[in-house]
């Protein structure tokens, strides 16, 4: 259920569709706005606003000579809603790779031997194997993570491991 503030924000965004067309220089009929609102009732005002911005900036694959139709607006708004949800997920989560200081620190902090592995299907780690954790979990394990980072830095500072060449019989 959308709040009245949400509905008002959607209504204002929809009116912006028609502002650039001289034939709609006057007031946009309420019945037309209500028709558009029915198409976008299941998405947020932020998604509707982003969809209209994409239209006005020519980012949609269509002729801008005519205003968006209700179904076109709904389709683009749903696509924008998906982008917003992915962005919100990445703002709250981190993908950690096995063996990383974060992985080792979280396993230690949560007293687990390991985490189950998943393959990232989207985002910056697409195709990599690891685990999603919340930023709060990473923050709670920051002491352990720092300890593992220091240990890795100490090992890296030593340089590459050199072994003597094996002796061969002649």
Averaged pLDDT in 10-residue chunks for the chain of 170 residues: 79 84 77 91 93 86 78 93 91 90 88 78 83 90 92 85 76
Report the SS3 class of residue 94.
strand
Q: Within a 10 A sphere around the Cβ of 48, how many other Cβ atoms? A: 29
Task: Please tell me the predicted confidence (pLDDT) of residue 25.
Answer: 66
Nearest one of 7, 84, 89 to 47, comparing CA atoms: 84
Integer Rg of the chain from CA: 26
Starting at the edge strand that comes first in sequence, how are the strands of the sheet with 129-134 ordered? 93-96, 129-134, 118-119
Report the SS3 class of residue 134.
strand
Block residue for tokens 């709609």: 24
- Residue 36 CB partners (closer than 8 Å, separation 6+): 14, 17, 70, 73
Task: Please tell me the predicted confidence (pLDDT) of residue 50.
Answer: 94
Q: Please name the residue ranges forming H helices in 57-167.
A: 70-92, 101-109, 135-140, 142-158
Task: Please tell me the predicted confidence (pLDDT) of residue 139.
Answer: 92
Task: Please tell me the predicted confidence (pLDDT) of residue 112.
Answer: 72
């Amino acid at each position: 259920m959308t709040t009245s503030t949400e509905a008002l924000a959607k209504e204002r965004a929809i009116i912006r569709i028609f502002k650039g067309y001289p034939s709609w220089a006057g007031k946009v009929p309420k019945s037309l706005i209500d028709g558009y609102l029915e198409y976008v009732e299941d998405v947020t005002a932020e998604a509707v606003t982003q969809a209209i911005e994409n239209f006005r900036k020519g980012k949609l694959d269509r002729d801008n000579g005519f205003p968006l139709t209700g179904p076109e607006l709904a389709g683009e708004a749903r696509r924008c809603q998906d982008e917003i949800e992915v962005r919100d997920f990445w703002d709250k989560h981190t993908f950690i790779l096995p063996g990383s200081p974060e992985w080792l620190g979280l396993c230690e902090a949560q007293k687990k031997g390991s985490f189950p592995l998943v393959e990232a299907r989207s985002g910056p780690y697409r195709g990599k194997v690891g685990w999603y954790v919340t930023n709060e979990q990473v923050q709670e394990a920051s002491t352990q993570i720092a300890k593992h980072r220091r240990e890795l830095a100490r090992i890296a500072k030593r340089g590459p491991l050199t072994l003597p060449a094996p002796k061969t019989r002649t």
